[in-house]
C-alpha cells in the first residue's frame, strides 16, 4: 500500500441540485492521496520478475522507463476492450482509458500508474513526480447542460475554490473557455494553486451528461509546467463523454 497524503476537499452538492454524501466525492485535482496501487495481472507479475532478474540498476531516468513499460503491460487489456464507440486516435506516448458504463474516455501519459482513491472514479499518477496526475470525478445532477450552471469562468472559479483546492491555498484562475464537441458542451480551465511547500499548475474539463457532473483534472508541479504542459493539454483535450 502506498501511503500518501491527501487534502480534504469533498464535494458538497456544489452546482448539482442533488444530494451528495461527503464520502462519495473527493479532491479532484490534487494527486497526493491515501491510496493503494492496483495489482498487476499474473502475466505482468511474470514480466516484472523477468525484468528484475536482469539485474538492472535503475537511476531516476531508468525508473521512469521501467514505469512506462509497466503502464503498457497493465493497461493493454483496457485498449483491447475498447468498443468502437470509444474509438479515438491514441497519440504516441499516451494510453486510452474508456468507461462504457459511465460514458467517458480520455488519454493519459505512459508511465503513470493507476491508483485507487476513495471518491474518485479513476486516478492515474506519476509515482516519481507526485504532483503529476489525472483524475476523474462523477457526481449526480439533475442539470442537462453545463451552461445551466453559469459561464465557464463562473463555474470554474467556484469549483476550484470550493472543491478542487483547500482554503489554505492561494488560487489563481488563469483562463476558462467553452467548447462544443459532437453536440456536447465542455468547459475547460487552467489554474494555479499555491501551497506553502509547492505550487501546482493544473488544467481541468467539466461537462454534464447521463445525469452526472463530470470533472477531469490534471496538472504538474509549477517547476515542471513548461516540460509537461503539452502533454497535460493533450489529456484535457482528449476527454470525451458519450451517452451511457
pLDDT over 70 at 150, yes or no: yes
Q: What is the mean pLDDT of residues 12-41?
A: 40
Whether domain 36-241 has CATH 3.20.20.70: the reply is no
C-beta separation of 32 from 4 below 8 A: yes
C-beta separation of 173 from 191 below 8 A: yes
pTM of the predicted model, to two decimals? 0.69
pLDDT over 80 at 42, yes or no: no
pLDDT at 173: 97
Q: Which of 38-52, 133-147, 219-233 is predicted with the least confidence, judged by mean pLDDT?
A: 38-52
For residue range 167-194, what is the model confidence (pLDDT) as tens digits?
A: 999 999 999 999 999 999 999 999 999 9
Concatenate the DSSP letters of all residues of the chain into one string: -B----------STTT-S---TTT---SS----SBEEPPPPHHHHHHHHHHHHTTPPP-HHHHHHHHHHHHHHHHHHHHHH--GGG-----TTEEEEEETTTTEEEEEETT-EEEE-TT-SEEEE-SSSTT-EEEEEEEE-S-SSGGGG--HHHHHHHHIIIIIS-TTSEEEEEEEEEEEETTEEEEEEEEEEE-SS-EEEEEEEEEEETTEEEEEEEEEEGGGHHHHHHHHHHHHHH-EE---
Amino acid at each position: 500500500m502506498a501511503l500518501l497524503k491527501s487534502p480534504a476537499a469533498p464535494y458538497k452538492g456544489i452546482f448539482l441540485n442533488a444530494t451528495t454524501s461527503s464520502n462519495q466525492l473527493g479532491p479532484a485535482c490534487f494527486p497526493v492521496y491515501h491510496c493503494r496501487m492496483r495489482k498487476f495481472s499474473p502475466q505482468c507479475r511474470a514480466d516484472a520478475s523477468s525484468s528484475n532478474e536482469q539485474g538492472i540498476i535503475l537511476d531516476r531516468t531508468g525508473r521512469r522507463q521501467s514505469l512506462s513499460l509497466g503502464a503498457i503491460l497493465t493497461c493493454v487489456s483496457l485498449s483491447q476492450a475498447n468498443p468502437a464507440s470509444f474509438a479515438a486516435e491514441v497519440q504516441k506516448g499516451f494510453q486510452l482509458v474508456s468507461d462504457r458504463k459511465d460514458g467517458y474516455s480520455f488519454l493519459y501519459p505512459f508511465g503513470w500508474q493507476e491508483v485507487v482513491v476513495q471518491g474518485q472514479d479513476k486516478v492515474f499518477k506519476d509515482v516519481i513526480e507526485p504532483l503529476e496526475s489525472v483524475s476523474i470525478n462523477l457526481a449526480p445532477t439533475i442539470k442537462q447542460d453545463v451552461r445551466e450552471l453559469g459561464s465557464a469562468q463562473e463555474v470554474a472559479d467556484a469549483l476550484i475554490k470550493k472543491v478542487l483546492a483547500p482554503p489554505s491555498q492561494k488560487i489563481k484562475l488563469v483562463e476558462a473557455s467553452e467548447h462544443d464537441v459532437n453536440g456536447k458542451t465542455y468547459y475547460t480551465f487552467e489554474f494555479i494553486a499555491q501551497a506553502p511547500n509547492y505550487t501546482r499548475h493544473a488544467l481541468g474539463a467539466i461537462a454534464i451528461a447521463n445525469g452526472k457532473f463530470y470533472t477531469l483534472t490534471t496538472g504538474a508541479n509549477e517547476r515542471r509546467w513548461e516540460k509537461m504542459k503539452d502533454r497535460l493539454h493533450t489529456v484535457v483535450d482528449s476527454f470525451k463523454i458519450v451517452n451511457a
